[in-house]
Structures are given as structure tokens and as C-alpha cells.
Structure 1
Amino acid sequence: MTATVAASPVAAALADTAMAPLEAQGRLLNPVLKAATKKPGRVGFRGELALRFAPKLADEARPPELTCDQVIAIAEKGNSKLPFFAGYLLSFEHLKDVAEVLGEQLSAGGKYFLFCNNIDLLKKYQVAYNGAMFYVLPIDESTVYNELLELLYLEKSELKRLDTAGKTDAVADAALKFDVTFDNITYEEGLKLMGPVRNPNENRPV
């Protein structure tokens, strides 16, 4: 009789969701949340999404070369597509990496928000890529979470009493209803419009 290896609690929670392949590839990093939320059949993730891995040297684990940071996302049992994903990119050009990594987990009806550090602070765009539509928004000194609260008209004070899973549910539920339209541009047009990539360590105290 062959012994069966029990799945880890995280793997069990993400099983049969759009996050399972990402977890298997080792892309869901530094999680603040990677577990079931308060909604039945829903799992949430808050952390970093590895976009490009560094070459492996022997058994040495090296940090990824490129990540999408401050990710907030949900997935549902029995659904191979991500309904909602949001994250921070230092440069708009990495939208391509996000779209390619998420790949088959994207859907035409999903709500996907990318806050980019090198687009005009007064502009908001919609960019179709890989069969999905991305909302591309500016970000300066704030966080993805705070920017989403403002975009989705959620009161921070009302969410304070909730834990991380509850806050993720509240943001996701509001995001799934979001239907505002922005200027449609192509990825290639976005590359021409984006500004220089800022040094993320600039102006930080030593």
C-alpha cells in the first residue's frame, strides 16, 4: 500500500482555484494572506507575484528578478479564472509580464487593476492584453490598498474592524462591480506614453 502525502494547508486551500498553478510554480511570495477568506469557496492572496525568476545556482534559492508587488487577489473553488487581481508595477512595460504569467488564469470579464509608477498622475487607461482588460492607473506615494479604497469609494474607517481576509473580501466585492471606463490604449501606445522608471529607493531615509 502506497503512503499518500498530505497536502499542506495552503495547497489544500488553493486547490481547484486559479491560484493553484501559481502556487505550484512558486510565484505567490511573502504573503500577508494566502488562505480562505470569509466568503464560502473563496481564497485570497496578498503579497508579491514573481514575474521572472533568477537563474538557479545549485540549491541556492534566489529572489525573483521581477515581481508585481502589493498584490491583492481572489480566486474561487471550481473556477480556473481569477475574478479580481490588483498590484503595483514600477514600470508600465511589465504589464506584459503580468499578463503572460497569469495567462490562462485571466478572463475577459475579470477585473484587473495595475498601479504603475511611471504613468501620468492625471491619467487612467484601459489596456487589452492576452484576452483580458487591465485598468492601468497612476500611483505616487500611496499603496495599492489605499488607491483601491479611493477608486472604489470604500471608507477606510469602516474596514478597520475587519481582519486581512475580511478587508480583501470587501475590496474584491467592490472591484467586481466596478464598471467605469477610461481611455482605451494599446500596450504599444502605453510604452510610448510612459515616463522614465523611478528609482524605488529615491528620497528614502538611509
Structure 2
Amino acid sequence: MPDTLTSPALSGTPFARLDREGRLLNPVFKGRTNAADRFGFRGELALRFGPHLADEARPPELSCEQVMAVANAGDPHVQFFAGWLLSFEHLTNVGEVLGEALSHHGKYFLFCDNIDLSSRFQVPYKEATFYVLPILESTVYNEMLELLYLEKGDLKRTDTAGKLDAIVDAAMQFSFSFDTISYAEGLKLMGPIRDPNENRPV
């Protein structure tokens, strides 16, 4: 597993460990947001690495993409997390990587490519609960705006940090309940895994 220096911008947050492990990849944003003591990340979370060969940099074998996440300085927990998974089965990979950074008071959303388009679940994972939804609006950002009744036009002139703050502030007030199922039940309900490389030109 990669081991890198932690970005000073993330010190004092649970992102520091993830950054040190080389899991915070392709950042669109990584650092302090516009809200007091809030730090955020938008990018890709590496979930599983392949064998590390010398100095060769390889992409992760498995990752959660289009991630949006925030944590407050001095708080060991991730307050908000949203991301896209190719398959529901990788929910436990997300849970294992975030580990003790998850809490019962956090808001965690996973958009999965292989669950029915009409399905919305709550899946308990240790102390936390994941909201599991289908991907309908093409991106996690658009999905969160739709879910939280936020208007894209209202955020158009806001910077990346401000957009993240707006989504988090609304998400922390999210109180809708979906059917609660176990991870094992979700595995039985999920559909086939799409080949992400299909129809690509060669």
C-alpha cells in the first residue's frame, strides 16, 4: 500500500490517514472549505491496491469514484460521504477503508450501478448507516442535488468549496427513511455488474 506524506491542509482530520495511505486520488478539491473548521475532499477514494512494485505507480484495483466528503477539524469522524460504486458488493470495502472514521451521526450515501432504478435502501454497517441509491442523474453531484432539492443554478457562481458546503449542510438535515436491509440481502437483490469498458473504441 502506498505511504505518502500527509497534506498539511488535512492534519487533524480523518482524511490525514487516508491521504497518508495514498487513497485520496485525482482531487478536484482537497482542503479547507468555506465553513469554519470544515475540511473536504472531492475525487476518488482508493479501496484496494495491487502489488506494489518498486517505484512503479499503478492505479488502484478498486476505488469509489466521484467522492464528496467532509470532516471537521479535531473530529475523528467523517461527517458526510457520498460516492459511486460499480457494484453494491463493494459497500463493505468502503466501510473497511473508512473504518473508525464512520459514526452513527454521519450521513453516508452510495450510488450503485447495479441496483434497480426504483430501489432505495438503508444498509447498516457497524455503527454507521449507508443510504444506497441507484445512479440516475449520471453523476454523484447531480444525484445529491436532486436528492436534497438543491437548484444547480443557485450554486452556479459558487466555488467548489462552496458547492460542497451547500450539499453537506443540506445532507446533514436529510431525514427521509428508506427500507432497511442487511448487506447480505442487498447482495441477493443487486443486478449484474456492467463492464465499464464496453462500447469503448479500441
Q: In terms of Rg, which structure is larger? A: 1
Query: Which runs of structure 1 show a deviation greater than 6 angstroms over 4 or more consecutive aligned residues?
Result: none
Following superposition, the deviation at residue 201 of structure 1 comes to 2.9
The answer as to whether partners of 1:127 and 1:133 remain within 8 angstroms in 2 is yes
1:177 counterpart letter in structure 2: Q
2:189 counterpart letter in structure 1: L
Q: Please tell me whether residue 89 in structure 1 is matched to residue 89 in structure 2.
A: no
1:60 counterpart letter in structure 2: E
Following superposition, the deviation at residue 97 of structure 1 comes to 0.1
Alpha-carbon separation, structure 1, partners of 2:174 and 2:190: 25
Alpha-carbon separation, structure 2, partners of 1:92 and 1:86: 14
Aligned with residue 127 of structure 1, among 119, 123, 130 = 123
Q: Which runs of 5+ in 2 are unaligned?
A: none
Following superposition, the deviation at residue 61 of structure 1 comes to 1.4
Q: Please tell me whether residue 30 in structure 1 is matched to residue 26 in structure 2.
A: yes
1:79 corresponding residue in structure 2 = 75
2:36 corresponding residue in structure 1 = 40
Count residues with an aligned counterpart.
199
1:113 corresponding residue in structure 2 = 109
The answer as to whether partners of 1:10 and 1:34 remain within 8 angstroms in 2 is no
Aligned with residue 171 of structure 1, among 156, 162, 167 = 167
Q: Please tell me whether residue 63 in structure 1 is matched to residue 76 in structure 2.
A: no
Q: Please tell me whether residue 151 in structure 1 is matched to residue 147 in structure 2.
A: yes
Helix, strand or coil at the partner of 1:70? strand
Alpha-carbon separation, structure 2, partners of 1:174 and 1:87: 16
Following superposition, the deviation at residue 62 of structure 1 comes to 1.0
Alpha-carbon separation, structure 2, partners of 1:35 and 1:61: 24
Alpha-carbon separation, structure 1, partners of 2:103 and 2:68: 17
2:22 counterpart letter in structure 1: G
Cα 1:140–1:153, aligned 2, differ >3 Å: closer, same or farther? closer
The answer as to whether partners of 1:74 and 1:83 remain within 8 angstroms in 2 is yes
Alpha-carbon separation, structure 1, partners of 2:191 and 2:173: 31
Q: Please list the CA deviations of residues 112-137 of structure 1 after superposition, one character each: whole Å capped at 9, or x if unmatched.
A: 00000000000100000122100000
Q: TM-score, normalised by structure 1?
A: 0.93
